[in-house]
Structure formats: C-alpha cells, structure tokens
Structure 1
Amino acid sequence: MPEHIKSKLAEEIKALEHELTTELPAEIKKAVALGDLSENAEYHMAKQRQVFVNARLGQLKKRMGELAMVNLANIPHDKVGFGSTVTVYDSTKDETIEYKLVTSEESDVSKGLISTTSPIGRSLVGKVIGDVAVVVTPNGKRELEVLKLSTIHDVALEETAKE
C-alpha cells in the first residue's frame, strides 16, 4: 500500500487519540464544574464528540489493519485491479475515459482516480482488454469497454527500467 495513505491515517489516529485522552476530558471536567448536567449543553456536546471520536478511531484502526493485509503480489498482472490505469470507451456517452483504480482514501473522480469499491471500480476489477463492464448508475446502465490496461506491476517495471 502507498505509504502516504498509511501515514495520513496514522496522523489522524494520533490526533484523535490526543483529543480523546487530553482535550475532551478537560472539556468534560470544565462542563461538570458548571453544575446541573441535565441542562448543560457543553457537557452534552463534549460527550457526543467523545462518542464520535471513539467510533472514528475504531474505523481508522480497522482500515489500517485492512491495508496492512493487502499483498501487492496477489494483484493480477493481466487484469484490472488496484493500481491499474484503464482506458475505457463509454458507449453511453460516446467518449473515451481514463481511470486509475485507487483506495477509497485516494479517490478523486475529477482527477480520474476511482476507488476499487466504487460502482465503476467494482465493475472494472477483473476485466481484461476487450471486455465490457456494465455499470448500474442512478441514470441507468453504462457500458465501458476496456481499450487499454496498465497494471500496478507494469508501472513498477517501468520505474525499475528508468533507474
């Protein structure tokens, strides 16, 4: 997995843990000192934030665990998968589009970076050149024909050849 994703998640985890162990207890303590907790907005907001931070920490730690288990060697060399750059022909829009399949943390449709878990990403995974992927969208079905494919392994080979 790209290290910048792991470091970004680790930074967010560190910031949330600091908030959970340092900032929120101080806010709760200050709110308790104001008295009557039943009508104390500061107290209730701090407690709600504490619940949110705990939930977000759980999500981030789970995601870090998932990313740690990804083995790039298991990504196919001849099919669309994580890290692939795919040129497709969209017969519905009569245009050629290039997508790069990335993690959900990196996705940015405006830059052509789509998540492997997005509807388009899921429909393209496992396809080879010449295959047609059918994507169900709110506007109806789209058919994407794979015209060109460069996998994460192809990119690694190109970078090694440059060195």
Structure 2
Amino acid sequence: MSDFAYYTEEGLKKLKDELHEMKTVQRPRISEQIAEARDKGDLSENAEYDAAKEAQGLLEMKISKMDALLSKARIIDNSIMDNSKVLILSCVKIKNVNNGMEMEYTIVAESEADLKLKKISIDSPIGKGLLGKKVGDVADVQTPNGIVKFEVMDITR
C-alpha cells in the first residue's frame, strides 16, 4: 500500500476546511468549557470538567489524525491518468451480470466516498474488484451474499 492518500481538489479542500474548523472553533470552545468548569470549584467531583477534558482529548486525537492524513495527501492529476482501465477517479458504468442491472459510480478515496452521490471508495469490495479492469472485463466482487459478477460497460473521467 502506498504511503500517500490521493484526493480530488474538492476532497482535499473539504479535509482542510474540517481541520481548520476543529482548530479555530471547536478547540477554543472546549477550552472555554474547561475554564468555566474549573471556576466552579472542586475538580475532583466536577463532572462538567471531566466531560470537557475528555472532549478535549478526543478532539486533539482527531486533529492529530487529520494532520497526519494531510501530510500524506496528494492531489490526483486527471490529465495523466489512463482512461483505458479503472483507476481512482474513474467514472465506471457497470452491469450486474446476474440480474442485468446497470449502475454508474465514481471511484474515489475512502474519505470522499458518498453512496448518495454515487462515489464509492477504492477500498470498498466493488472498488477493489473493479480496479485495473477494462471495458468488457468482468469483475468478481465478494459481497456478504457471495460473489457478484460485474461487467465493465464504460470508463470515463
């Protein structure tokens, strides 16, 4: 597995905005909550203080993970991608061989996946199964209900 995490410009901006919001809005808010709880006296029996400290720890952990993600983030350049096979950011039209149902998905990074927007993760079973396939190839995808065969109908960007 690569040391890099690949994102679209939109996905990377969303990640940066989320980190900025955690650092500039959530972090100061939790610090205020800790200060207010501290002002109320005995910290050994102060549930508000304990809750605020726990929230602070969780937030700092999220910020740390997000910083690590951003340090490995790379933007994908669509202009140099091979359109003949399924890669990250490919828009793939597939057909379920068993029932003939056709679907269209864009293969994206894990953090950008959103089924409502027809964006599936490259790490999902379907994403992994389609990776590297060409038009006309059939991908065997392991699902909880067994193996499902998907034929690649079209690949676009």
TM bin (shorter chain): 0.7 to 0.9
1:76 deviates by 3.2
Q: Which residue of 1 aligns with 2:56?
A: 50
> With structure 2 as the length reference, what TM-score do the two structures score?
0.82
Secondary structure of 1:68's aligned partner? strand
Q: How does 1:98-137 map to 2 (within 5 A)?
A: 98-137=104-143
Match for 1:36 among 18, 42, 50?
42
The alpha-carbon deviation at position 89 of structure 1 amounts to 1.4
**Which sections of structure 2, spanning at least 5 residues, go unmatched?**
1-6
Whether the aligned pair in 2 keeps the contact of 1:75 and 1:82 (CA below 8 Å) is: no
What is the CA distance between 1:74 and its match in structure 2?
A: 6.5
TM-score (norm 1): 0.80
Q: For the residues of structure 2 that align with 1:69 and 1:148, how far apart are their CA atoms? A: 24
Gaps of 5+ in 1: 153-163
The structure showing larger relative contact order (alpha-carbon pairs under 8 Å, at least 6 residues apart) is 2
Deviation at 1:109? 1.7
Query: What is the letter of the counterpart of residue 35 of structure 1?
Result: G
In 1, distance between residues paired with 2:155 and 2:26?
45
Task: Work out which of the residue numbers 97, 101, 106 in structure 2 matches 1:91.
Answer: 97
Deviation string 1:46-81 (CA, Å, 9 cap, x unpaired) is 111111111111222222233226565674332101
Number of residue pairs matched by the alignment: 151
Q: Over aligned residues, Cα RMSD in angstroms?
A: 2.2
1:149 is matched with which residue?
155
Q: Among all aligned residue pairs of Structure 1 and Structure 2, give the percentage whose two residues are the same amino acid.
A: 31
Judged with a 3 Å threshold, the aligned counterparts in structure 2 of structure 1 residues 65 and 91 are, in CA distance, closer, same or farther, namely same
Distance 1:73 1:65 in 2: 23
